[in-house]
Amino acid sequence: MAARPPAGVRRRRRLARAALLAIVAITVALALVALVGQVWELSFFVVNMLTAMGLALGVDYALFIVSRFREERGAGRAKLAAIEAAGRTASRAVLFSGSAFVIALTGMLLVPDKIMRSLA
């Protein structure tokens, strides 16, 4: 069996995966904004706003799920059981919260103002 890498290496790998996930999510969001920009005129601030909101929400939701996982591990659950519990509770809350956020911002597309549409 191969030796397990040191904790610092594992931590860096997890951080790299999280950063890659954030980059992919923001890239996909920018592609969607490019499509919306074909229909509506958007503010040039849209890239900055999208990046800031994407990173802020991504970090917030990730911390919420990770803290739930750690809470379950602290309660004595095995690793897989803690992942399942975090998935049942925190992930569902993140899904509903993210969906409500998207619905609220989608309504802003109807406002006839370039800045508001760009926020949406």
49: domain range? 7-119
Flag whether 33 is in a domain.
Answer: yes
C-alpha–C-alpha distance, residues 78 and 72, integer Å: 8
User: Tens digits of per-residue pLDDT, 84-108?
Assistant: 998 888 888 888 888 998 888 888 8
Flag whether 92 is in a domain.
Answer: yes
> CA neighbours within 13 Å on the CB side: how many for 112?
0
Dihedral (C-alpha) 17, 23, 29, 31: value to the nearest 10 degrees? Answer: -120
Flag whether 62 is in a domain.
Answer: yes
Lookup result for tokens 């917030």: 60
Q: Which residues of the chain have pLDDT under 70?
A: 1-2, 120
Q: Tell me the two tokens of residue 27.
A: 């890239």
Flag whether 78 is in a domain.
Answer: yes
Contact 120, 37 (CB under 8 A): no
Flag whether 54 is in a domain.
Answer: yes
Q: What is the pTM of this model?
A: 0.67
Q: How many domains, the chain?
A: 1
